[in-house]
Amino acid sequence: MKAASPSPDDGSAQVDGPRKQVVATTDGSCETATGEGGWAYHLAFGRHERTASGYETGTTNNRMELTAAVRALEALVEPCHVTLVTDSQYLKKAFTDGWLASWRRNGWRTAARQPVKNRDLWQRLLELADVHDLHWRWTKGHAGHATNELVDALALRARRERRGTAHG
């Protein structure tokens, strides 16, 4: 391993040093009757924090959970060591329990031979997982985890107000 160079004073990225340790907490929200959804993330790196949220129509809760993770990882401007905290077992287990590997091996089909839903987002997450050193942590939703409660509220607000804070 290369020796880490001192951090530049201007806040720019270290090229040959260790990756930054980032905690990304994500959540999605969807009103199934209308298909209106919201997503949100919170990124924490040392003393620095950043949040964003967004709104989509014609969606599902699972799609919003995946979108939140994609948008959080896309917001990172350099490869990082990321602990992604989610209350979605669907999102976490796809990576940690080998579901994604099976789906890919089966031509993006489930064990029941059905097409995998949200394939576009799964593929984007796989691309981002190749960039970042990604580790998964599950937290129970609505159980007092402060940052999970924050992103839950941001996703719900984006859905209800039909707009988020993210642009582009």
Q: Can you give the residue ranges of every domain in the chain?
A: 20-161
Which residue in 37, 137, 11 sits closest to 82, CA to CA? 137
Which of 27, 42, 54, 132 does the annotation list as catalytic? 27
Catalytic site residue 48?
Answer: no
Torsion of CA 8, 12, 16, 17, to 10 degrees: 70
Separation CA 67–CA 38 (nearest Å): 9
Catalytic site residue 152?
Answer: yes
Question: CATH 3.40.50.10070: does it fit domain 20-161?
Answer: no
> Is 0.75 topped by the overall pTM?
yes
pLDDT higher than 80, residue 1: no
Pick the range with the lowest mean pLDDT from 14-23, 44-53, 116-125, 157-166.
14-23
Average pLDDT over residues 147-160: 96
Which of 36, 65, 132, 164 does the annotation list as catalytic? 65
Q: What percentage of the chain reaches a pLDDT higher than 70?
A: 89
Which of 142, 144, 167, 168 does the annotation list as catalytic? 142
Q: Which residues is 29 bridged to in the sheet?
A: 38
What is the 3-state composition of the chain as percent helix, strand, coil, each rounded to the nearest 5? 35, 25, 40
Separation CA 133–CA 131 (nearest Å): 7
Which residue in 56, 64, 83 sits closest to 121, CA to CA? 64
Catalytic site residue 37?
Answer: no
Separation CA 7–CA 16 (nearest Å): 10
Catalytic site residue 65?
Answer: yes
Model confidence band, residue 10 (pLDDT cutoffs 50, 70, 90):
very low
Which of 36, 42, 54, 87 does the annotation list as catalytic? 87
Which of 36, 38, 152, 164 does the annotation list as catalytic? 152
Separation CA 126–CA 2 (nearest Å): 27
